Amino acid sequence: MMNFPILSLIIFLPLLGSFFVFFSRSKNDIGAIYISILTTFVNLLLCIFLWWSFENNFQGFQFVEEKNWISGYIKFKLGIDGISILFIVLTALIAPICVISCINSVKVRLKEFLIAILVLETFMIGVFCSLDLVIFYLFFEAGLIPMFLIIGIWGGPRRVYSAYKFFLFTLLGSVLMLVAIISIYTLTGTTDLLQIYEIKIPKEYQNILWLAFFSSFAVKMPMWPVHTWLPDAHVEAPTAGSVILAAILLKMAGYGFLRFSVGMFPFGSEFFTPLVYSLSVIAIIYTSLVALMQNDMKKLIAYSSVAHMGYVTLGIFTFTKQGIEGSMFQMISHGIISAALFLCVGVLYDRMHSREIKSYGGVVNYLPKFSLIFIIFTLASLGLPGTSGFIGEFLVLVGAFTKNYLVALLATIGVVLGAAYMLWLAKKVIFGQITNDKVKKLSDVNKSELVLLSILAIITITLGFYPNLILDTVDISVNNLIYNYENEIAQKISNLE
């Protein structure tokens, strides 16, 4: 194992970059742009290197770093396993895409926008690396601030309302999580995650603590019925904000469920499984139906995100190999697909300044390249085999079916509805007659847009045909997770006897 603190490096490199951006002085923020692109790109390479040097067959956490922070109490402890490495790579991939996409679309305070994105990247990677509850909490909450600013400053007309809604919803859940972390400390005397795994939290406390963590993750996920902040936040956020929100911020909750809820509270997780199943199924069907009726492209995709996240929560709480791996896959895949869909909407919005589905139609006549890409992601989003969207959904459903066939049956209905709203969107925007003369003046995607979207499209299709790229990486970690969970539950049953 390397001694070089590579995790700290990839966490703080963007922060360092943001300092340089802050002090850069050049015309039209050219310097700031170059620094941001360079930082995020180098970070991406580092993360790919990290993934490459990651041992798939290693049990436990790798690249562990430990430093005293508040001596005797809290340690700054980092480490990754098969689950976190993928999120780190995803974050590092999305960051440069956001930076490049905002160059053209953000007209005011570009430099500050770039700083916000870089700082956000630091926090997001930090979340996925931390092995200490307090450190995790700090990164988790700190991420709110740049996102709040991104929506509140660079957002649309109702940005303040949306930003506050976003902030209050997520903060409310997180406060309970903070209380839970403090009580875990009083129970176990540590906030080190690995030690907590060893000590094990007493059974009688698990349900209440699980609920406290759940309240935070459920909002972030978002699960029904605390999902209403998401459509508003997406609609008002600028393109890059939507991309980060959909691709990474939502995944922090899924990651939290896997690492903390299931890992620390096996009994609590088992006890509340019916709750999670019900909420997931409601989310899948309810939001799919709502998505069918949307007039705003971003809202439609936002609602579809809630439905897709429903599969994630469903899969995690099946505690089966297929279910959890499917959830992991679904998160990564949704990160890429939703990012691409929001970028696509951004492409149209930059040209037409409208997100209304009605103002488009017949786009394919004037933007053939764009239309191809849009259709690819539409199909990926509705889970067509051969794209990454299919693998995640299908594995989750396979896993769910072995635990509760009724839930799986209902969740599968979402697949039909998903096809309905996505194809309807494609029909109204891409195909059909040209009803709006402005469409005729649109120009096709430019080079940078084309490159970004093509990369995402290639990743989506590659993962669809060769999903083992991800499945191999998470294999051991998911096995351990399930093994620990089942071990605990089995002990409980033997104690009862």
Partner 1 sequence: MPYALVFLPLISSIICYFGKSLGNLFSQILSSSLVFISAVISIFIFFDGITNNNYGNYLIFEWISSGDFKANWSINIDPLSSVMLVVVTSVSAVVHIYSIGYMSHDPHKPRFMSYLSLFTFAMLMLVVSDNFLQLFFGWEGVGLCSYLLIGFWYKKESANNAAIKAFIVNRIGDFGLAIGIFLIFYFFNTINFDEVFSVIPENKDKIIEFLGFEINLITLICFSLFIGAMGKSAQFLLHTWLPDAMEGPTPVSALIHAATMVTAGVFLVVKCSPIYEYSTTALNIVAIIGMITAIFAASVALVQNDIKKIIAYSTCSQLGYMFFATGVGAYHVAMFHLFTHAFFKALLFLGAGSVIHALNNEQDIRNMGGVWKKIPYTFILFLIGTLALTGFPFLSGFYSKDAIIEFAFLKNSSIGNYAAAVGIITAFLTSIYSWRLLFKTFFGKYNGSLTKDKIHESPLVMIVPLIILASGAIFAGYFFKDIFIGHNTNFWKNSIFFLNQLDHYTIPLWLLVLTPIIVVMAIPVAYYYFLKNTEIIKNLKGTNLPLYNFLLNKWYIDELYDFIFVKPTKRIGNLLWKKGDIGIIDRFGPDGISKVVKYISNKSTKLQSGYIYDYAFVMLIGLSLLITYFILK
Does the protein bind partner 1 through residue 394 (CB under 8 A)? Answer: yes
Does the protein bind partner 1 through residue 468 (CB under 8 A)? Answer: yes
Sign of CA dihedral 380, 385, 388, 393: positive
- List 60, 189, 274, 386, residue binding partner 1 (CB under 8 A): 386
Whole-number Å distance between alpha carbons of 291 and 260: 31
Does the protein bind partner 1 through residue 77 (CB under 8 A)? Answer: no
Nearest to 152 by CA among 248, 144, 298: 144
Q: How many residues bind partner 1 (CB under 8 A)?
A: 57
Length of the chain: 497
Does the protein bind partner 1 through residue 86 (CB under 8 A)? Answer: no
- List 326, 335, 346, 389, residue binding partner 1 (CB under 8 A): 326
Longest dimension (CA), the chain: 75
- List 111, 165, 251, 308, residue binding partner 1 (CB under 8 A): 165
> By CB under 8 A, which span of 72-80, 137-145, 256-264, 417-425 interacts with partner 1?
417-425
- Closer of 22 and 424 to partner 1 (Cβ): 424
DSSP letters of 277-295? HHHHHHHHHHHHHHHHT--
Shortest gap between Cβ of 452 and partner 1 (angstroms)? 19
- Closer of 19 and 466 to partner 1 (Cβ): 466
> By CB under 8 A, which span of 69-77, 253-261, 426-434, 489-497 interacts with partner 1?
426-434
Does the protein bind partner 1 through residue 424 (CB under 8 A)? Answer: yes
Helix (H) or strand (E) holding 352: helix 321-352
Compute CA distances 409 → 12, 326, 398, 403, 418, whole Å. Answer: 45, 16, 10, 12, 15
Shortest gap between Cβ of 158 and partner 1 (angstroms)? 13
Helix (H) or strand (E) holding 63: strand 62-70
- Closer of 69 and 466 to partner 1 (Cβ): 466
- List 313, 471, 477, 481, residue binding partner 1 (CB under 8 A): 471
206-245: which residues touch partner 1 (CB under 8 A)?
225-226, 228-229, 231
- Strand partners of residue 387: 385
DSSP state of 482: H
Does the protein bind partner 1 through residue 321 (CB under 8 A)? Answer: yes
Burial of 15 (0-12, 13-18, 19+ CB in 10 A): middle
The interface mask with partner 1, positions 259-278, x = CB under 8 A, is --------------------
Backbone phi and psi for residue 367, each to the nearest 5 degrees, phi listed first: -130, 70
Does the protein bind partner 1 through residue 185 (CB under 8 A)? Answer: no
Shortest gap between Cβ of 440 and partner 1 (angstroms)? 14
Shortest gap between Cβ of 439 and partner 1 (angstroms)? 13
> By CB under 8 A, which span of 14-22, 75-83, 105-113, 420-428 interacts with partner 1?
420-428
Q: Kindly provide the b/e burial profile for residues 50-79, where b requires at least 16 CB atoms within 10 angstroms of the residue's own CB.
A: bbeebeeeeeebbbebeeeeeeeebbbbbb
- Closer of 265 and 303 to partner 1 (Cβ): 303
Shortest gap between Cβ of 376 and partner 1 (angstroms)? 11
User: Is 201 in contact with 260 (CB distance < 8 Å)?
Assistant: no
Non-local CB neighbours of 221 within 8 Å, separated by 6+ positions? 227, 250, 253, 254, 309, 312, 313
DSSP state of 74: E
Does the protein bind partner 1 through residue 160 (CB under 8 A)? Answer: no
- List 130, 215, 313, 320, residue binding partner 1 (CB under 8 A): 320
- Closer of 165 and 334 to partner 1 (Cβ): 165
- List 23, 69, 465, 483, residue binding partner 1 (CB under 8 A): 465
- List 431, 454, 455, 489, residue binding partner 1 (CB under 8 A): 431
Percent of the chain as helix, strand, coil, to the nearest 5: 80, 5, 15
DSSP-derived pairing of the beta strands 62-70 and 74-80: antiparallel
The residues of the shown chain that bind partner 1, judged by CB under 8 A, are: 165, 168-169, 225-226, 228-229, 231, 286, 289-294, 320-322, 325-326, 362, 364, 379, 384-386, 390-391, 394-395, 397-398, 401-402, 405-406, 408-409, 412-413, 415-416, 419-420, 423-424, 427, 430-433, 465-468, 471-472
